[in-house]
Amino acid sequence: MYFPIGWPKVLKIPEWGRTSIKQVTSNRDRILFAILTDDALSIWYCKPCVPIVFHRRSKESLEKIGYNVLVEWKPDSTMLVIATTEGHLLFYNVDVVSDQKGLYIQMDSPHSNLRRDSAELFIKETIPPLSLLPGDEVLVWDGKITSIVCITMNEIMVATSQGHVLRYRWDGTQNRDYNLDLRRIPFCINQQVSKAVPIVEENTYIVDIEYSPLIGGFAIVLNDGRAAFLTASSLRFDPNQVQGIWAQSIEDATCATVNHKYRLITFGRANSECIVYQVDETTGGLVVSHHCVLSSKDYPGCPGAVTSIKWTPDGCALVACWDLGGIGLWSTFGALLSCSLGWDYGLNVDLMNFNPLHVISMEWATEGYQLWMVRKEYNQSNNTNKTDSNCNPLESDDNRAFETSLIRLDFVKSALTINPCMSQQSNLYLQGEDKLYVNSADTLIKIFSDRSSKDEGVFSESFFSLSSSTLAEGRQWLIILVPSTYTATNWPVRYSAIDNSGQHLAIAGRTGVAHYSMVTRKWKLFGNESQEKDFVVSGGLLWWRDYVVMGCYGIPDNGDEIRFYSKDCKLDNKFAKILRVAAPVLLINSLQDQLITFGSDAQVTIWNMHQVDTIGNVEITKTQIVDISSMCIHPACIVSITLTSLKTENVRGQNVNSESIVFNISGRLLMVQRESTNGDRYTCSMPTVLAGYVENVWVPNKRKPDKVHLTEALWLFCGSYGMRVWLPIFPRDGDKSHTFMSKRIMLPFHLKIYPLAILFEDAIILGAENDTVLYTTDPNSPFSLPFSILQRTSQVYLHQILRQLIRRNLGYHAWEIARSCNNLPYFPHSLELLLHEVLEEEATSKEPIPDAQLPSVIEFIMEFPVYLQTVVQCARKTEIALWPYLFSVAGKPKDLFQECMEKKQLDTAASYLIILQNLETSSVSRQYATLLLDTALEQSQWELAKDLVRFLRAIDPNDVESPRTSFVLTSKLGMTQQTPPVSPNAEDISLVLGNVQRVRSYSTTMTPKLPDSKLSTSAPVVESPIVGRKKSIPLTNANTQKSDNNRESSNNTAEEFFIDVILQRHARRLLSSHRLTDLGYFAAHLDFHLVTWLAKERDRVARVDDFVTALKQLHEDFRWPYPILLEIPNKALSGASPPLSPVTSIEDKIKEMHIETGTVLNRTASRVGDSGYTSFPGLPLSGLVTPHNTLELSSQIDGTDMSGETDIEQSEENSQDDVFFNLKHPYDKKINLYEEKLPPVTKRKISSNVGGAFGLLETQISANMADESMMSVNSSVWGEDKDDLVSTQYGSENWEVPSSQLLEQLSSSGSKGSQRAEIQLRYLLQLFMEASCLEWSLLISVLLRDAMAVLRTVNAAKSADQTIESVSRLKQGLHILYYWTNTECLGYKTFMLAIQNQISVLATILATKIQNQQILEHQQAVSATLSKVSINNTASRIRKVSSTVDATSQCGSNKDRLSSVSSSHATKERLSEISSTGTTCTIKEATETVGNNNNATSEGSGCVIS
């Protein structure tokens, strides 16, 4: 609970020549420090750190009586005594100069600009002017002086090298009657042994001696390494009554010290350890309490013998320094707090030989905030000493050149060291000499959030909620500085307190009190400084409701008080409640509205408090006084006192008025139960000892019914013995068969941190630890030592309690506690820690375990839904050698995997794949991975599916059937160990749970380049992208013909083909169910080459059978609102032309709507109609106008049932639209819908008389729009670039589109979906257009209400890749959508009216494709006839023809080309004539004409055909 902070400060001492510093020691108040050198003595003040007086001895004195060795203060700080090397005692008198007010008085400059104007620049502390005068000089005629200790205000004890302990008075005289001789003192192991033997060895003497009046004796260390405790029946220490008690198990003691509060005797040893003893109250002997050791983790070497040890002033920490350098800090009962051997000193520092922090003497300052140390600095250039393997120096320290310096290290400490009533608070804070470090419970933030957002492209999961939770710990300290106006005269901070909410703090220094508000960030001090100086807080500080409560001593009245100050009023005595008490208050604590105090008269007083108002009116009533003088030796040994509602026999619904008192007496915890007998009368039972070696006690201040076990428990920390919890064991409701069982149980467990606060409801322990930072490696710099920083730590303790209960067969109570904590975000982690610790302990044990705990733990975890997750997470963090032991109890991994699949816990099942990969063959893991992949795809878990694909592709096909030998069975299972495991590829193992998302980085249409030149040739549409092994970039195989299927290559294996089949099958399932959103995420996460696959599936699964249903599904998937019925205002129309009738406007302008694919668009001429890759932000509207009873068109548009299209069908009979609309043309049966593609055919301009065919349709549409006040639009979308339009090859007239204002109004009609959804739709539109899936392109264009995208889709139908059936479906779908918008969804009516003439364009394209198909078929028939005739020719005819060909071989190629061109021109001219004559020319005539032209061409080429 003590932690170093900041840099060690190097104090600049005056030039004292070449003398070295021997010792530093402080007076009893720890304000004045005496620094002893070889020939001088100086006195320093602690705060500010300045020298006061200095005295140097003369050379004659040094030669006569020797150099200085030891120095000791008189308890009242009026004298000092120095021991010299020649056995002399030098007494010095310390007096205060009466005619001087103080030292270091600061004077302001006469210049106004140089005067101080800040309170921090004024030193208000009065530094006493002291004088150091030499006094008596005494010669000790008994050898050299080895140690000095002061025992009373009048006497000191001096140990000599002759085995004597001489008793001197401070006036220099010797008290000969009370001198001690070791050869006359009987020694034994305890006081009950009748036989005691004195020391008979020659040349045995004391080298170190310490005295404790609370223990009642001296701790001594002999020169031969033995240690003992000298005690007597009285503190006068009559030589005839003194008895020695040996400290057993120690033969290498080097130094000694005592702890008064905890009554501990500590000895330093030569093996770098410290051993702590306590006096057995029954036998009087010394029993080992604990050891202060360094583990191999803290420091692997041996730092040498312990040279000095010191307890803090409050006895809560022990500091030790070693012979080879370094210091260590332990708590009272042996918990390591800090060790300088683990600090960062740089890379070039040899800690064994030249430790930068080599301390030879040290002393704590007031309240333990500073540690003054004498550091030894070696001259490394002249010293090359070494140490042997036993940590023994090969060269003595006397021969090593060194210098000494004085340094000071600052510390912060927990408030529990001086104010133990703060243990009820869950807020963590530390106090320094002039500042507070606060880390309240509010900084422990529980975040239930989604997965961290990442930029993963358009289709990513960062926008979707995932049920995951994390615990973010606030490790930052809020440093609150105490105002300099308070610390200037009241340094240091002695007491501090924080309220339950963590919003208010209070401090008390040397005098007075101050408090701070975290809300206002302001301090509140006394306005009257004299009132602040009138009382000293001596008994503790705490918050109760709106008041600060303190036990204090009143200086003016010379009496003891309990004071209450309100936080809402000024700090003034007129707003305070002051209660006089009989004895000084040493400790205070509270429980709700009860106050408990402990005084120096060993009496405990319990008070009832009642708050009347917030201005100082508090009613206090004394309810009980308990005398505990028989329980403690001295009131100073009471460490803490707590009032609690806990009892030894705890039952539900206990009496709230029966509080108990818990005492910590020198580390022993006792409970005294109070019982109310007659109303206000209380009786106390016999005290019950609960535990020993207790440093801190935590008791919850309120009971929680939902977590009754954790909030009614008593928490103890016992140093090196770990943590203990006194837990209530409630019997089951209705179970009265075992009434003899105890109602409470003490459970021990170990911690990795030092506990400072406990969050009872959250099952978390908070602590702090040290770390260091090195800023410079220059040994001459004052900053060469590391900078100490403070870090907040935490640890979950729930699993520790559960394990202890399960071990004691109290599984039901463990289940009750776990059930109350299952809502904590780290509850699964606690179960994982429980399983991991038991598994590690039992699986690695070399001894047989007859009562193994692992089966019980497994059964316990199975009671919770996170069982499967806990087992696999534990296995993944454990060595593979321990897996067989784990799964022999938990179950087979295959069964656990199947259970995960049944419960739809796919992420957990993916973790089991790693287990299966190491325990089973690769074929088994591949089988289960495939099963998991199918399920992950069905549940749209794309990240998991991506990792599974990588996992499957990483399996080596050569290792499919090979058994796994990567685990070792322990001898506990009766099996021999196998060969050492082969380390698997880290990339393969981390595939399943990897979270790295790769953004799509290649084109949707271009095939990525391959490293292999054999695969770099261009190829037609492939079956599927083939992914190379252990690669994440799709690779395409150039040869996919059926003849190559039997050839094996490194990138085309059966496993990869099987994976691609799974992916393609799921893609078909998504597209057939119109789930475009999932299809986009699927392609984005799995790197699925969507364009290539869509091109292959264009006439299969990519076809749309029900346009209305697909459009509705798009609205639902993308959350895209339906458009509203829009009335286009006049200002949206062009004002250049006079208004016409609505019917004329629509018929004239929309009928001519057409655009050529190759037309170059002027992007700046219009802001609408851009169906590119970025969306146009339309005007947001709201509302949806659709009938409540929608119609399903699939059941109505069939034959004559299409009543709404009757007129249209009759008007299109001449153009054969009825045939294509119903898909009954005989040529449709001849179309290959899967693999073959139509060859390109040279096209001829064919005028189509479709204007009259849509007359009735336009009239009907215009009639429906008559009520919408539509006006004529004369201007086109192209503006002035209208003349640049290229005439289409299907018509001679110039097709136009409506104006930009009209299209903009149509595009923004109705409220749109989110911007993200629009980007996704635009992206999918691009992909479908690239793949020539025009039906889906049309649907997305209609959904976006993008007229230009519709035009591009219609014009793309002219491509030779589009079959007659696909164009017919596109035209039919447009018909259906138009009918649906006129009957159900009227919001689309305006937009469909704007694009309705595209039906005529599709009819024209369809008619042309059919005619071209007929011509192609006729040409193929003619070619087949000519081939048949050629085969029937005679051999002589063939030879004649061959000779003719040989004669003309020189120009054959040119003539062939000419023949081809002539044939083509003739065919085109004939088709033009057919087109011009209308329907009178039949297909038969056209065929005959083409045949005649072909014959003519053959004759013209010189070939004679009979």
Order across the sheet with 603-611: list the strands: 585-591, 594-599, 603-611, 618-627
Closest CA to 420 of 213, 669, 660, 620: 669
pLDDT digits (tens, 9 = 90+) for 455-482: 344 444 433 333 333 344 567 899 999 9
C-alpha torsion 289→295→298→303, nearest 10:
90
Give the torsion sign (CA, 719, 722, 725, 729): negative
State the Cα angle at 1309 between 1307 and 1313, rounded to 5°.
Answer: 80
Name the β-bridge partners of 845: none
> Which pLDDT band holds residue 1087 (cuts at 50, 70, 90)?
confident
Question: Tokens 């690239």 identify what position?
Answer: 1330
d(CA 544, CA 609): 9
User: Which stretches within 616-718 are classed as H helix?
Assistant: 708-711
State the Cα angle at 481 between 476 and 485, rounded to 5°.
Answer: 175
> Which pLDDT band holds residue 1156 (cuts at 50, 70, 90)?
very low
What is the DSSP-derived secondary structure letter of residue 1107? H
576 phi and psi angles, rounded to 5 deg:
-115, 150
Single-letter amino acid, residue 1112: K
pLDDT digits (tens, 9 = 90+) for 932-972: 999 999 999 999 999 999 988 888 766 655 555 444 444 44
pLDDT digits (tens, 9 = 90+) for 581-603: 999 999 999 998 999 999 999 99
Closest CA to 967 of 891, 894, 880: 880
d(CA 1112, CA 1339): 10
d(CA 236, CA 312): 27
Least confident residue range of 17-31, 378-392, 651-665, 1058-1072: 378-392
> Which pLDDT band holds residue 358 (cuts at 50, 70, 90)?
very high
Name the β-bridge partners of 165: 159, 180
d(CA 924, CA 918): 11
Give 651-667 as a 3 state SS string: CCCCCCCCCEEEEEECC
- Ranked by mean pLDDT, the top range of 378-382, 1230-1234, 1474-1478 is 378-382
Mean pLDDT of 623-630: 90
pLDDT at 1238 (0 to 100): 33
d(CA 229, CA 137): 31
Mean pLDDT of 1062-1079: 90
327 phi and psi angles, rounded to 5 deg:
-130, 150
H or E segment to which residue 508 belongs: strand 504-508
Is 60 exceeded by the pLDDT of residue 223? yes
pLDDT at 112 (0 to 100): 80
1369 phi and psi angles, rounded to 5 deg:
-65, -40
Q: How far is CA 879 from the centre of its chain?
A: 24
Question: Tokens 């050869």 identify what position?
Answer: 183
* Angle between helices 798-807 and 811-820 in degrees, nearest 10: 160
Q: Regarding predicted confidence, which is higher, 1132 or 53?
A: 53
Phi-psi region of 1068 (alpha: psi -120 to 50; beta: other; left: phi over 0): alpha
Is 60 exceeded by the pLDDT of residue 1372? yes
Single-letter amino acid, residue 1239: P
Average pLDDT of the chain is 76
Q: Regarding predicted confidence, which is higher, 143 or 988?
A: 143
52 phi and psi angles, rounded to 5 deg:
-110, -50
Q: Regarding predicted confidence, which is higher, 381 or 632?
A: 632
Using a pLDDT cut of 90, give the percent of the chain over it: 45
State the Cα angle at 1251 between 1248 and 1252, rounded to 5°.
Answer: 110
> Buried b / exposed e across 1256-1286, counting CB within 10 Å, b at 16+?
ebbeebbeebeeeebbbbbbbbbeeeeeebe
Beta strands in 385-477 (DSSP E): 402-414, 428-431, 435-439, 444-447, 470-473
User: In the Cβ-directed half-sphere of 836, how many Cα atoms lie within 13 Å?
Assistant: 17
Residue 133: count of CB within 10 angstroms of its CB: 11
pLDDT digits (tens, 9 = 90+) for 685-696: 888 999 999 999
Name the β-bridge partners of 605: 597, 625
* Angle between helices 1452-1476 and 1398-1432 in degrees, nearest 10: 140
Single-letter amino acid, residue 505: L
Mean pLDDT of 1419-1426: 88
Closest CA to 912 of 901, 1357, 356, 903: 901
Token reading at 521? 């960030």
Token reading at 464? 């979707």
Q: What is the DSSP string of 941-1009?
A: -HHHHHHHHHHHHTS-GGGSSPPP------GGGT----SPPPPPPHHHHTSTT--PPPPP-S-SSSPPP
Q: What is the DSSP string of 1238-1263?
A: PPP----------TGGGHHHHHHHHH
Mean pLDDT of 991-1014: 39
User: Which stretches within 375-452 are classed as H helix?
Assistant: none
d(CA 222, CA 214): 23
Residue 5: count of CB within 10 angstroms of its CB: 18
Instruction: Check: CB of residue 307 under 8 Å from CB of residue 297.
Output: no
Give 17-80 as a 3 state SS string: CCCCEEEEEECCCCCEEEEEECCEEEEEECCCCEEEEEEECCHHHHHHHCCEEEEEECCCCCEE
Is 50 exceeded by the pLDDT of residue 781? yes
54 phi and psi angles, rounded to 5 deg:
-145, 140
Is 70 exceeded by the pLDDT of residue 107? yes
What is the DSSP-derived secondary structure letter of residue 550? E
Closest CA to 661 of 597, 710, 614: 597
pLDDT at 64 (0 to 100): 92
pLDDT at 1126 (0 to 100): 55
Is 90 exceeded by the pLDDT of residue 41? yes
Is 70 exceeded by the pLDDT of residue 1031? no
Return the SS3 of 870.
helix
Q: What is the DSSP string of 65-130?
A: H--EEEEEE-TTSSEEEEEETTSEEEEEEEEE-TT---BS-----SSGGGS--SGGG---S-B--E
pLDDT at 645 (0 to 100): 86
> Which pLDDT band holds residue 86 (cuts at 50, 70, 90)?
very high
H or E segment to which residue 1356 belongs: helix 1347-1356
Q: How far apart are the first and last CA of the chain?
A: 117
- Ranked by mean pLDDT, the top range of 325-329, 403-407, 1142-1146, 1182-1186 is 325-329
Return the SS3 of 203.
coil
Mean pLDDT of 814-843: 92
Token reading at 651? 């039952």
Mean pLDDT of 1195-1213: 36
d(CA 394, CA 378): 16
Beta-carbon contacts of 74 under 8 Å, excluding residues fewer than 6 positions away, are 80, 81, 150, 153, 170
Cis peptide before 48 (omega within 30 of 0): yes
Mean pLDDT of 1217-1244: 32
Least confident residue range of 828-832, 916-920, 1312-1316, 1431-1435: 1431-1435
What is the DSSP-derived secondary structure letter of residue 1199? G
Tell me the pTM: 0.73
Strands 243-246 and 187-188: parallel
d(CA 149, CA 210): 6
Instruction: Check: CB of residue 518 under 8 Å from CB of residue 505.
Output: yes
441 phi and psi angles, rounded to 5 deg:
-65, -20
